[in-house]
Structure 1
Amino acid sequence: MQYLLMIYAEESGWNQMTDSERQQGVAAYQAYTESLKKAGALVGANRLQHTNVATTVRLVDGKPQVLDGPYSDSKEQLGGYYLIDVPNLDAAITWASRCPAAAYGVMEVRPVWTAPYDARSAA
């Protein structure tokens, strides 16, 4: 089953680190990603750009309303994700707890609801 491991952390945290701390952080994420690959669990992963370049879209009276930035104002922002394929929620939680972000942010684990059609052919 696929799970999305969403990384929530303070965007400014990376800029507050020393060069050495950033290098250690990059190495930790590289090791974590390599572990997921070796286990055959990694489907995909990406880091997201900062929220100041985000765009929020919602319908108001049937018309799109476009706003700059994220909709919610919170201490932590969605900064990236890992899409994994593991047997069950317990395995997904284990992988989430091993992510470097779990030590300084929040990991949200959510099962992927697989559509009964191929999204690529629906476009």
Structure 2
Amino acid sequence: MTFALLFHERNEDFDLRDDESRAPAYWGAWAAYMTSIQEAGIFKAGAGLLPPTTATTMRMNNGKAVLHDGPFAETKEMLGGFVLINVDTIDEALTWASRAPSLDGGSVEVRPVLPPMS
């Protein structure tokens, strides 16, 4: 079964990505995590996302698309990336989620993915 792991990080976690002294540890943790997923043979797809300041949100207002700079919701955690994995059970997906670097101050949302439409 395919599960989505949605990695939510704090704004300060996004700042770590470009901090000269702390970026190597940040990226190293993610590289190790992603390598372990790939070596386990469960990786289906995934990507990291640029910071929330690069986002554009679209809403419909009276039948017209309205664009807003940045994410729509003000929250302490923002979506930093995602991975789709193939495992047999939700418990296996949760085990992989428990190893994610984003859990240090952030969170991981685990969701089953709908099967392909025929």
C-alpha distance in structure 1 between counterparts of 2:98 and 2:3, whole Å: 14
Q: Is the 8 A contact 1:14 1:22 kept in 2?
A: no
Q: Secondary structure of 2:34's match?
A: helix
Structure with more helix by fraction: 1
1:19 CA displacement: 4.0
In structure 2, how many angstroms separate the alpha carbons of the residues matched to 1:63 and 1:19?
Answer: 43
Shift of 1:8: 0.7
* Cα distance, 1:66–1:14 mapped onto 2, change above 3 Å: closer
Q: Which residue of 2 aligns with 1:21?
A: 22
| Residues 36-51 of structure 1 mapped to structure 2, 5 A cutoff | 36-51=37-52
Show structure 1 runs of 5+ residues with no match: 118-123
Instruction: Give 1:69-88 correspondences, 5 Å limit.
Output: 69-88=70-89
Q: Which runs of 5+ in 2 are unaligned?
A: none
Give the fraction of aligned pairs with identical amino acids, expressed as a percent: 35
d(CA) in 2 for partners of 1:20 and 1:5?
A: 28
Q: Give structure 1 regions of 4+ aligned residues with deviation exceeding 6 angstroms.
A: none
Count of residues in Structure 1 that have an aligned counterpart in Structure 2 = 117
What SS does structure 1 have at the residue aligned with 2:116? coil
Distance 1:53 1:24 in 2: 23
Counterpart for residue 34 of structure 2: 33
Q: Is the 8 A contact 1:4 1:82 kept in 2?
A: yes
Contact 1:2 1:84 in 2 (8 A): yes
Please say if residues 44 and 83 of structure 1, whose CA atoms lie closer than 8 Å, have aligned partners that are also in contact. yes
Amino acid at match of 2:37: L
After TM superposition, the score normalised by the length of structure 1 is 0.84
Instruction: Give the whole-Å Cα distance in 2 for the aligned partners of 1:16 and 1:81.
Output: 18
The AA in structure 2 aligned to 1:37 is Q
Q: Report what 1:8 is aligned to.
A: 8
Say which SS state the counterpart of residue 33 (structure 1) adopts. Answer: helix
Instruction: Please tell me whether the aligned partners of residues 8 and 79 of structure 1 are also in contact (alpha carbons under 8 angstroms).
Output: yes
